[in-house]
Amino acid sequence: MAIERRGVLAAMGALLLAAKAPPPMTTAAAPLALVKPPRLRPGDTVGLIEPAGFTDDSFDQRDVRR
């Protein structure tokens, strides 16, 4: 009987998912009571952050200000 790689891998995937998941290894934080921030209103001041890069293109900066 021919064995196809795709079939074997798919079956392995199904077995993986069907198996009882082990206790999570993450250190996930317990849920906090959800606090709702105040809604926005026209004219509000908003802060701009770039924690994942920087923008040095003047067009982009003008666009964001607008």
Partner 1 sequence: MFADKDVRAVFAVRGGWGCARILPLLDFATIRANPKLLIGFSDITALHLAFAARAGFTTIHGPNASSSWGKFSWDGFRAVTFDGAMPTFANPVGNEDRLVQRVGRIRTLHPGKASGRLLGGNLTVLAALMGTPWLPDFTGAILFIEDIAEAPYRIDRMLTQLALGGVLGKLAGIVFGQCVDCGASGPSYGGFTLSQVLQHHFGALGVPVFQGAQFGHVANQFSLPVGVRAEIDADLGTIRLLEPAVI
| Contact mark string toward partner 1, 3..42, x via CB under 8 A | ---x--xx--xx-xxx--xxxxxxxxxxxxxxxxxxxxxx
Q: Please state the φ and ψ torsions of residue 48, each to the nearest 5 degrees.
A: -120, 130
Could you tell me the smallest distance in angstroms from the CB atom of residue 9 to partner 1? 8
**Who's near 8: CB < 8 A, 6+ residues apart?**
none
> Residue 66 in contact with residue 46, Cβ under 8 Å?
no
Q: Which of 2, 4, 46, 58 binds partner 1 (CB under 8 A)?
A: 46
> What does the binding site for partner 1 look like in residue numbers (CB under 8 A)?
6, 9-10, 13-14, 16-18, 21-42, 44-53, 55, 60, 63-64
